[in-house]
Amino acid sequence: MHIPLEHPLLSAIVDDLATRGWSQQTLFLPEALSRELAGECRRRYSEGELNPAGVGRGASQEVREAIRGDQIQWLDPGESAPCDRYLDTMDSLRQAINQGLYLGLEDFECHFALYPPGAFYKRHLDRFRDDDRRMVSAVLYLNEGWQPEDGGQLRMFLHDGVVHDVQPQAGTLVVFLSGDVPHEVLPARRERLSLTGWFRRRGNDPF
């Protein structure tokens, strides 16, 4: 689903990133597409395609449920029509960010994330110590009828001690600078679904 780069929604996200380093849009996707993506996530989970998420990367990656308890599967183009529409939308956002902020974002990687009841993710940054390619994080929520008492909020730790909680309601998109915004996922009391991804720039060649 391609969005024109001059679309007010994309412009608002770019302006927010430029002025405060994060943006929250409560109606980023049409309800029907959010519902299709949620169905796709649940189908993959029921068929055993999601796996426990690890901490770290490469050879040092390990599953540590005391830090994070979600199960994930990465998206690749061509797997399903709803996923392709979402990836097209995010590519429009990538181009808009590049046009407005000159970040040199080259691609977008993302995965489904399912938090079973009781799961959480402790405070962290989205950028690895030895890899600075992830520039902008983007999380789309897929949970219809979410209530505050269901928990599972994304808690962002902003400048000057400000804390901002995001309800993981279907259609809500949160975008923030990966290396600047520590955050955590509070324990969820019901199944919690999202598409979590990162806009990346070209990495530095270690050689």
Helical axes 8-20 vs 81-101, angle rounded to 10°: 50
Domains along the chain with CATH numbers? 8-52+68-201 (2.60.120.620)
Tens-digit pLDDT profile for the chain (207 aa)? 667 777 899 999 999 999 999 999 999 999 999 999 999 999 999 999 999 986 555 544 454 556 888 999 999 999 999 999 999 999 999 999 999 999 999 999 999 999 999 999 999 998 776 678 899 999 999 999 999 999 999 999 998 899 999 999 999 999 999 999 999 999 999 999 999 999 999 875 443
Q: What is the layout of strands, in order, in the sheet containing 163-166?
A: 121-124, 183-185, 154-157, 163-166
Contacts of 179 (CB under 8 A, 6+ apart): 125, 126, 127, 132, 134, 135
Residue 157 pLDDT: 97
List the beta strands (DSSP E) in the chain. Answer: 22-25, 51-52, 71-74, 105-115, 121-124, 134-141, 154-157, 163-166, 173-177, 183-185, 192-201
Alpha-carbon distances, residue 56 vs 20, 59, 111 (angstroms): 28, 9, 16
SS3 state of residue 44? helix
Inter-residue contact 181 to 21 (CB < 8 Å): yes
pTM: 0.90
Residue 168 pLDDT: 97
